[in-house]
Structure 1
Amino acid sequence: MGEPGVDAAAVRRALVGLGREPVGELTLHRVGLGQSNLTYRVTDERAGVWVLRRPPLGELLESAHDVLREARVLTALAGTGVPVPQVFGVLEPGAVGADAAPAFVMSWVDGTVVDRMSVARDLAAGDRRALALSLVRTLAEVHRVDLGATGLDGLATRRPYAPRQLRRWSAQWESSRTTALPEVDALTERLHAALPDEHETTLVHGDFHLRNVITSADRVVAVLDWELSTLGHPLADLGSLLAYWAEPGEQGLDDFLPSTLEGFPSRAEMVAEYAAASGRDVSDIGFWHALGLWKLAIIAQGVLRRATDDPRNRATEGTPTTEGIAAVVTRAMAVADELGTAPSTAGTSPARHRGIRT
């Protein structure tokens, strides 16, 4: 039985059109736990291997799952300090399956994705720390990309990033919510009331965390999943990374909590390493951490909604639960409490808060 969303004969034609010339029959196998864009490992009968990316199945939210944007960014990053797979080509809509979805083909990168607790537990304690610090240094490389030299200076507007994120993800929340969670709306108000000043614009990955990179022992060898990439404030990426970086005793979206294992550094250590690697002032990281948690909860709600609407989008494990989403929102409220933010009220000016919660 074939994999949903792709047709082997169509994929063969697409590869030939890109000059790849597969030998014999193709085997397609969905890989990873990603529940946004779908990823397939494509192999032929003579050790040829490629990766195909396409959007999830069913009705999608506007502007979500943009594989063409992802392919554009990956192509632009070739030859920079950011390790990424090679893009072989973008395919016409409908080229790989029965629906009209676009897709692209890229190289297979050998390595390990730390996407299950069993994989994280197999890492030596020393390798855990080294890998985490490599993750942070790689993020600093993302934010060091020369936008003009790579042609990415027109990727998005340069207007302040936090208000853009609040508008976009508030709309996604309204489109994907499946249950009442008033804390999300309250947190949205608190974030609006605490917008920091923004003086810098860089490339932003948009969803940077351990499951979205390929590793080799104690280092990052490729950064994946660029569909949410844009131009914005670099601390937004660090805040998102901290949102995934649970510490002992904290609950996450699911049971994947590798950073709670011995050897992985604390959030404070991760922030310090980023500051050293980037030379950047990180005093506003508390706001971006809270925003990252808020955004994570909304992304997870979208994943849950797609898996509920069309079970073919569900990965083998790792689908968020309503309980996990509520736990993330609770953590975000605690970070906001630490910052001293309060819901905005009519007639008052938004406060500016600086601080860090680790």
Structure 2
Amino acid sequence: MAKYTTADQIDLPALAQRYELGRVRLTPLVGGAANSRFRLSCASGKFVLTILDSHDWSSAQRLAAHTHAVFRLGVPTTEVVPAVGGALITQLGDRPVILKKWIPGEVRQPLPVPHLPEAGRILARLHALSLRSLGCGDIPVGARRLSSNHMAEIPRFADGDFAAWLTDWLDRVRAVEAENERPSRVVHGDLLVDNVIVREDGRLSVLDWETISLDDPLLDLGMAAVGLAQDGGVLAPRRLDALLAGFGDVAPLSDDDAAALPMEIVHAALIIAFHRYYRHNVRFPDPPGAPSTGRWSGSWTRWRRRLHCLADKRCDRARRSLICFMLRRPVWPGEPSSASTARASLRERGPSGAEACGLRLTATKSTRPLGVSVGG
């Protein structure tokens, strides 16, 4: 299992001295798949203390610098609090830590529809930032994509059916993307609902810049669709339209981009599917008898039955039509089509069709992987 930092392991007097905070009180925060998070309260205000359990010193410095840079450029996010002397990170024990100002608000699951256009606009404005304006020369390229090391792990998965299904779909995605390369932009990489705060003033703030990189903005938009445009696990046309409407206010989609977006939504789902499985079955497997094991077994058995429906070559035509219907496109991505017809389809499809077909996208930060699935 992952090794997290607990409150009793934190030297509060040393921490308070480094940030000149006085007497502090620490409260653990729920959430955070890779790091330990606490709310820190003192006379000067409230803060979020993150123990970067999954980072070394260099990667922690990059994370702090990137978070500071996007805040400085007006992206609504949390402000990094420097320690005495100006350092953006400090070290407690053998782990780097970062302190940020507390944002009063809450995570709403799902994010209410009236907020989705603003989420789209924030994402589009982020994509418009230049690398020079960020002042960071070390932003990685394609950090959210599966690396060659990730791909090498898939054939070793204990669940061969899942590995074969994942490989097949990734091959399809890459074949389509090879014919539709787009200029890279600054992207967030993980705009899921857990990373969006609805502030007390009703506006949004975006958290978690660990996957910021230079990449295809459509993949980033696809990731946001997976993370924000669902209703009960179903990719909901009304929610997707609201997200895309806000994005289009800042960066209208071209006909080609509108036609390519559905496959990038699928790509985003596959990336998360890999990481859910890898984290909870390979990197940090739950020990035998742990409470989460039973939940995994039951949900994965049901989910795998749905994968068989998608992977069955005899149902290829039906599978294509179902997925296209969910993504509200008239044809399969990569096949000859009229992009303008595809854009009209994005606007005109109703929400009941996907639900009637039982086609779902599962995207939760749980031990269950994510993917396109057919119910029943």
Task: Normalising by structure 2, report the TM-score.
Answer: 0.67
For 1:79, the equivalent position in structure 2 comes to: 72
For 2:39, the equivalent position in structure 1 comes to: 41
Cα displacement string for residues 297-316 of structure 1 (whole angstroms, at most 9, x for unaligned residues): 122224434664489xx99x
For 1:188, the equivalent position in structure 2 comes to: 170
**1:16 Cα offset (Å):** 1.9
CA distance in 2, matches of 1:240, 1:290: 9
For 2:211, the equivalent position in structure 1 comes to: 228
Cα displacement string for residues 103-141 of structure 1 (whole angstroms, at most 9, x for unaligned residues): 2111111111124x6xx6xxxxxxx22211111111112
- 1:113 counterpart = 2:93: no
- Amino acid in the other structure paired with 2:40: V
Q: Contact 2:60/2:89 (CA < 8 Å) preserved in 1?
A: no
CA distance in 1, matches of 2:336, 2:187: 23
For 1:238, the equivalent position in structure 2 comes to: 221
- 1:140 corresponds, among 109, 124, 148, to 124
For 1:150, the equivalent position in structure 2 comes to: 134
Q: Contact 2:52/2:96 (CA < 8 Å) preserved in 1?
A: yes
- Amino acid in the other structure paired with 1:155: I
For 1:123, the equivalent position in structure 2 comes to: none
Counterparts in 2 of 1:150 and 1:249: CA distance versus 1, 3 Å: closer
For 2:145, the equivalent position in structure 1 comes to: 165
Q: Which has the larger radius of gyration?
A: 2
Report SS of the residue matched to 1:165: coil
Unaligned runs of 5+ residues in structure 1 are 121-127, 252-258, 343-350
**1:231 Cα offset (Å):** 0.9
- Amino acid in the other structure paired with 1:144: A
- 1:50 corresponds, among 47, 51, 70, to 47
CA distance in 1, matches of 2:145, 2:219: 10
Q: Contact 1:143/1:204 (CA < 8 Å) preserved in 2?
A: yes
- 1:22 counterpart = 2:22: yes
Q: Contact 1:91/1:104 (CA < 8 Å) preserved in 2?
A: yes
Which structure dedicates a bigger proportion of its chain to helix? Answer: 2
Q: Contact 2:113/2:239 (CA < 8 Å) preserved in 1?
A: no
Q: Which moved more, 1:79-88 or 1:318-327?
A: 318-327
**1:198 Cα offset (Å):** 2.8
**1:324 Cα offset (Å):** 8.1
Q: Which has the higher contact order (CA 8 A, sep 6+)?
A: 1
CA distance in 2, matches of 1:331, 1:71: 44
CA distance in 2, matches of 1:156, 1:7: 35
Unaligned runs of 5+ residues in structure 2 are 83-87, 312-318, 325-330, 347-376
For 2:268, the equivalent position in structure 1 comes to: 292
Counterparts in 2 of 1:248 and 1:216: CA distance versus 1, 3 Å: closer
- 1:200 corresponds, among 168, 176, 183, to 183
Counterparts in 2 of 1:110 and 1:291: CA distance versus 1, 3 Å: same
- Amino acid in the other structure paired with 1:38: S
CA distance in 2, matches of 1:295, 1:332: 17
Cα RMSD for the two superposed structures: 4.1
CA distance in 2, matches of 1:174, 1:75: 35
- Amino acid in the other structure paired with 1:36: A
Cα displacement string for residues 57-100 of structure 1 (whole angstroms, at most 9, x for unaligned residues): xxx6x99x9543321211111232311111124434xx335xx3
The percentage of counterpart residues that share the same residue type is: 19
Counterparts in 2 of 1:6 and 1:247: CA distance versus 1, 3 Å: closer
CA distance in 1, matches of 2:309, 2:202: 29
CA distance in 2, matches of 1:15, 1:141: 36
Task: Normalising by structure 1, report the TM-score.
Answer: 0.69
- 1:276 counterpart = 2:256: no
